[in-house]
Amino acid sequence: MANRLTTAWRFNHPDIGIQGTGLYIEPSGKISMTSGRTAIRQSILLLMSTIPGERVMRPEYGCNLHQLAFMPNDATTHGLAIHYVRTALEQWEPRIDIIHIDANANADEPSLMEITLEYRIRKLNQPEQLTIAYHLMGAEI
């Protein structure tokens, strides 16, 4: 049972750093697997990029970050982003404890909001950090 909590299919996803989308297929034709910290990190990124209602069999799954797409990159939007990320993680990612979430405008690119998540993997009691870049189309601060 413990292995199921830390092993997952490996996905090609632009937010994970691999080009393309979908399952990662090895040259042998097998579906590639990922495990441990990498599996949890992938799970968080997939959760953050899934719009609620997108999954037919689990319509509540996802994060409402898409609702911020045309909002200004300001403190109100940052607060909403933190709320959406915290709500999604508390509901859908039981393997972690949230330590801190912050959101800020990128200094070099005004339409880019950076969401930084500090979390602890419960099973390993190990702190991790993840930064998610989210493009906004709204006005600058």
The fraction of the chain above a pLDDT of 70, given in percent, is 81
Mean pLDDT of 111-132: 94
pLDDT digits (tens, 9 = 90+) for 6-49: 776 666 665 555 555 566 677 888 777 677 888 888 889 889 98
Beta bridge pairs of residue 129: 118
Single-letter residue type at 61: Y
Fold of 2-135: Nuclear Transport Factor 2; Chain: A, (3.10.450)
The rounded distance, in Å, linking the Cα atoms of 80 and 110 is 18
- Where are the chain's structural domains? 2-135
